[in-house]
A and B are shown apart, each in its own frame.
Chain A
Amino acid sequence: MLSFAWIIPLLPLLAFITIVFFTRRNQKLSSLISIGAICLSWIFSVIVIASVLKNPVPSEFEFTWLNLMGFQVKMGILIDSLTAIMLFVVCTVSSLVHIYSVGYMQGDPRFSRFFSFLSLFSFSMLGLVLANNFVEIFVFWELVGLTSYLLIGFWFEKKTASDAGKKAFITTRTGDLGFIVGILILTTAAGTFNFREMFHAVETGQIPFGILTLGAIFLFAGAVGKSAQFPLHVWLPDAMEGPTPVSALIHAATMVAAGVYLVARTMTIYLAAPNAALVVASIGCITAFMAASIGLVQNDIKRVLAYSTISQLGYMIMVLGLGGYTAGTFHLYTHAFFKALLFLGAGSVIHATQTNDIWEMGGLYPKMKITAITFIIASLSIAGIFPLSGFWSKDEILTVASHYPNPIFLIVGILVAGMTAFYMFRLCFVTFFGKPRDQHKFEHAHESPKVMTVPLMILAFLSVFAGWVGIPWLQHGYGSFVFHQEPHHAEPNYILMIVSTLVALSGIYLAYAMYYKKSISPEKLKAKFPFPYKVLYNKYYFDELYQIIIINPIMKLSGFLFNRVDVGVVDRLVNGAGNFTVFLSDVKEWFDSHIVDGAVNGIASLARGTGSGLRRIQTGQLQNYAFVIFFGLVLIILFKLS
């Protein structure tokens, strides 16, 4: 009954093909096709979610794609509650971003191309969500990476943009390396690519524990790359070089969540391999804290949001590692809306002021009321203020963390919540309030057109209310819809709620005090703790570190291999062999001419010597010959007579 779901990714693909081959020249038509396709997909996704709600039994449809002995790949779709939620989130955010882009990308010479890429991305992302096996998910995983590359480097004239695209692609591909190996390990052990068949194998213990753990950890590497987790998080902040709608769609709401989705999808494996799960949780925890701390001091509005994304993704990964399937996916779901809203709002601000630096903004509230209000709503939501959606999902996460024996996860979780509140409101206060710092830019600033603000408002609505499906008091809320094995009915933990709210509020207050009232001077703090500030400001020096310990050695190695080994040794050996052969032939030539030929020539010259000795007899004097003749005659006669 749900087999029509394959149409959902197909529509954007068709839009992509149409735009590339036919309507490229007509910008307006191109954008309309693209938007139409994704909106249609959204309608289908709503139908899917409705029917899954009605009948939550997972359904699967597939066909054989490639069939060889011992290697059968099927392509198909798996629809369960997780897929349905993801479809809904992706379609929603994607269609809003599509619409928003019409305004944001207005006047860009490559307007049509932008929409074709967006469509291609939507196709890939929806395909990824629908995939029912590892090959398929990997295929779309890579396609998503490609579109991300293309969109980050969309303004490829800017060196930073094309650099960022390259960095993103290569960094995530490094993670994919682990992904491939993980797939190899797991599928070889289980003998299938299909998710559910593999989960069945895992649950029935067909895969040895060691292999399972190893495979799970390798698999997670893919998620680390895609979801920008420590230590492969470095690409995401740079990816902000792309157009802001792209950042909102791909690098905040959907694609980066693919890693989280992967872990959620393969939850069975991690539950069966607790060591791997612990690795997952630890990575998530480290990432959440690290990224949040970097976010505290960044000045680029989009970079702050990027680190916030990394941090929130770390949150989700952490809770998934702790077994909080429902909590993780729930946060993924709510986060998508408010993070997309934040980015789109930031985009609106950037669109108005033509700058990314928050210290060149300020006092924008009166000029761009809708943007400011929606931005603040999103900030409240991400900070986890009651009763916005962020509050409920964060609460779920902290609840799960509190069940874990080691309190470190809970502590970090609360700490990160506080930091999140602080840096988000630092952003709000600096950007929208206070005095305008750059008068020229301030005057130039204006509210964005309707096509941009309407998506903002819709997202703001969702940021507030989307989380309400997961209110712990609900009997049939999110937890009874998206769950692993058994419905997880979140129990309200009032102490945690209060604590986290307090922490968030104090974070907001701190930001208010520092950046609005200026009762605490950030400059003094900076001066007081120069070293931590510097470390944070330079993002823990990850880029520099990678440059030194990975990129430079590899470049050196490749140069070395080419210049020294390939040209210097292998090729020289080959040429040496050639020259040696030439030398040998010289030697042989000498041998030939002196020894072999010498013998031959020796015989010849012996003959010649003899001849030239004997030829002296040939005087040419006929009389000498006659003399000999008669001499012979005498001899013959004498002989005869005797």
Chain B
Amino acid sequence: MLTGVSEAVYYILAAIIIGSGVMVVSMKNIFHSALFLVLCFFGVAGIYILLSAEFIAAVQVLIYVGAITILMIFAIMLTARLYSAQIKQSNEQVVPGLIIVSALLVITIFALSKTTWKLSSQAPETQTVAEIGKLLMTTYVLPFEIVSVVLLSALIGAIVIARRD
């Protein structure tokens, strides 16, 4: 249960996330969108901390903010000159999209409100990093290895695909 400061932090973070998320999908300039995406990722990292998942938060910042967003920006720069007309982007079928999305949203929130979760009242683990490392090397070693292979093949695949030939 979070109270007090945490509650305020949550709302701020939520506002940042939602606001920047909306900006990401609505900005005309794709480069600006990418910057708002960074902001959004930071917000999400904050939420992780709030949820006492510090390691995830760190990973979030490292990978999303540090790697993926930079990758995006590189891609934008490789595919279009900045400030050119090409960089402008538009949204289409906004109205039906909004309808669908809001319907989905309403339904989901309605469903959430109707659902009762088996909540646990235990205190959360504090030594998460060590615990996560232990789990990854023991219980989840196989998925871990598979993921690493997937990552490797994705890298090679990306190189193959993007290679000029």
Task: Identify the A interface with B (CB < 8 A).
Answer: 623-624, 627, 630-631, 633-634, 637-638, 641
Q: List, in ascending order, chain B residues with CB within 8 A of A630's CB.
A: 100-101, 104
User: How long is the Cα–Cα vector from A442 to B93 in the complex, in angstroms?
Assistant: 137
A637 near B100: Cβ-Cβ < 8 Å: no
State the Cβ distance, B25 to closest chain A Cβ, in Å: 13
Best-surrounded residue of B97, B100, B104 (most CB of chain A within 10 A): B100
Q: List, in ascending order, chain B residues with CB within 8 A of A631's CB.
A: 100
Taking A627-B93, A634-B100 as known contacts, 18 extra A-B pairs with beta carbons closer than 8 A to each other, sorted by chain A number, are A623-B92, A623-B93, A624-B93, A627-B96, A627-B97, A627-B100, A630-B100, A630-B101, A631-B100, A633-B104, A634-B103, A634-B104, A634-B107, A637-B107, A637-B111, A638-B107, A641-B107, A641-B111
Q: Which 10 A-B pairs have the closest CB atoms?
A: A634-B103, A630-B100, A637-B107, A634-B104, A631-B100, A634-B100, A627-B93, A627-B96, A630-B104, A634-B107
User: How long is the Cα–Cα vector from A634 to B100 in the complex, in angstroms?
Assistant: 7
User: How long is the Cα–Cα vector from A572 to B135 in the complex, in angstroms?
Assistant: 102
State the Cβ distance, B145 to closest chain A Cβ, in Å: 33
Interface size on B, residues (CB 8 A): 11
User: How long is the Cα–Cα vector from A637 to B93 in the complex, in angstroms?
Assistant: 22
Q: List, in ascending order, chain B residues with CB within 8 A of A624's CB.
A: 93
Q: Mark B91-110, 1 if CB is under 8 A from A, else 0.
A: 01100110011011001001
Output the nearest chain A residue to B110 by Cβ-Cβ distance.
A641
Q: List, in ascending order, chain A residues with CB within 8 A of B111's CB.
A: 637, 641
Q: List, in ascending order, chain A residues with CB within 8 A of B107's CB.
A: 634, 637-638, 641
State the Cβ distance, B15 to closest chain A Cβ, in Å: 26
Output the nearest chain B residue to A628 by Cβ-Cβ distance.
B100
Q: List, in ascending order, chain A residues with CB within 8 A of B101's CB.
A: 630
Task: Identify the B interface with A (CB < 8 A).
Answer: 92-93, 96-97, 100-101, 103-104, 107, 110-111
Name the prevailing secondary structure of the A interface residues.
helix
Q: List, in ascending order, chain A residues with CB within 8 A of B104's CB.
A: 630, 633-634, 637
Output the nearest chain B residue to A635 by Cβ-Cβ distance.
B103
Q: List, in ascending order, chain A residues with CB within 8 A of B93's CB.
A: 623-624, 627
State the Cβ distance, B98 to closest chain A Cβ, in Å: 12
Output the nearest chain A residue to B101 by Cβ-Cβ distance.
A630
A-B contact pairs, 13 of them (CB 8 A): A623-B93, A624-B93, A627-B93, A627-B97, A630-B101, A630-B104, A631-B100, A634-B100, A634-B104, A634-B107, A637-B107, A641-B110, A641-B111
State the Cβ distance, A565 to closest chain B Cβ, in Å: 85
User: How long is the Cα–Cα vector from A631 to B100 in the complex, in angstroms?
Assistant: 6
Q: List, in ascending order, chain B residues with CB within 8 A of A637's CB.
A: 104, 107, 111
Output the nearest chain A residue to B93 by Cβ-Cβ distance.
A627
Q: List, in ascending order, chain B residues with CB within 8 A of A638's CB.
A: 107
State the Cβ distance, B52 to closest chain A Cβ, in Å: 32
Q: List, in ascending order, chain B residues with CB within 8 A of A641's CB.
A: 107, 110-111
State the Cβ distance, A560 to closest chain B Cβ, in Å: 89
User: How long is the Cα–Cα vector from A641 to B115 in the complex, in angstroms?
Assistant: 13
State the Cβ distance, B96 to closest chain A Cβ, in Å: 7
Output the nearest chain B residue to A638 by Cβ-Cβ distance.
B107
State the Cβ distance, A492 to closest chain B Cβ, in Å: 144
State the Cβ distance, A627 to closest chain B Cβ, in Å: 6
User: How long is the Cα–Cα vector from A638 to B104 in the complex, in angstroms?
Assistant: 9
Q: List, in ascending order, chain A residues with CB within 8 A of B103's CB.
A: 634
Output the nearest chain A residue to B108 by Cβ-Cβ distance.
A637
State the Cβ distance, B76 to closest chain A Cβ, in Å: 19
Q: List, in ascending order, chain A residues with CB within 8 A of B100's CB.
A: 627, 630-631, 634
State the Cβ distance, A629 to closest chain B Cβ, in Å: 10
User: How long is the Cα–Cα vector from A251 to B92 in the complex, in angstroms?
Assistant: 124
User: How long is the Cα–Cα vector from A641 to B113 in the complex, in angstroms?
Assistant: 13
State the Cβ distance, A40 to closest chain B Cβ, in Å: 117
User: How long is the Cα–Cα vector from A630 to B92 in the complex, in angstroms?
Assistant: 16
Output the nearest chain B residue to A633 by Cβ-Cβ distance.
B104
State the Cβ distance, A296 to closest chain B Cβ, in Å: 126
Q: List, in ascending order, chain B residues with CB within 8 A of A634's CB.
A: 100, 103-104, 107
User: How long is the Cα–Cα vector from A633 to B108 in the complex, in angstroms?
Assistant: 12
User: How long is the Cα–Cα vector from A634 to B107 in the complex, in angstroms?
Assistant: 8
User: How long is the Cα–Cα vector from A274 to B140 in the complex, in angstroms?
Assistant: 141
Q: List, in ascending order, chain B residues with CB within 8 A of A627's CB.
A: 93, 96-97, 100
Q: List, in ascending order, chain A residues with CB within 8 A of B96's CB.
A: 627
State the Cβ distance, B107 to closest chain A Cβ, in Å: 5
Q: List, in ascending order, chain B residues with CB within 8 A of A623's CB.
A: 92-93
Output the nearest chain B residue to A624 by Cβ-Cβ distance.
B93
Q: List, in ascending order, chain A residues with CB within 8 A of B110's CB.
A: 641
User: How long is the Cα–Cα vector from A637 to B96 in the complex, in angstroms?
Assistant: 18
State the Cβ distance, B8 to closest chain A Cβ, in Å: 34
User: How long is the Cα–Cα vector from A638 to B101 in the complex, in angstroms?
Assistant: 14
Output the nearest chain A residue to B114 by Cβ-Cβ distance.
A641
State the Cβ distance, B62 to closest chain A Cβ, in Å: 30
State the Cβ distance, B90 to closest chain A Cβ, in Å: 12
Output the nearest chain B residue to A634 by Cβ-Cβ distance.
B103
User: How long is the Cα–Cα vector from A630 to B98 in the complex, in angstroms?
Assistant: 12
User: How long is the Cα–Cα vector from A627 to B104 in the complex, in angstroms?
Assistant: 12
User: How long is the Cα–Cα vector from A641 to B103 in the complex, in angstroms?
Assistant: 13
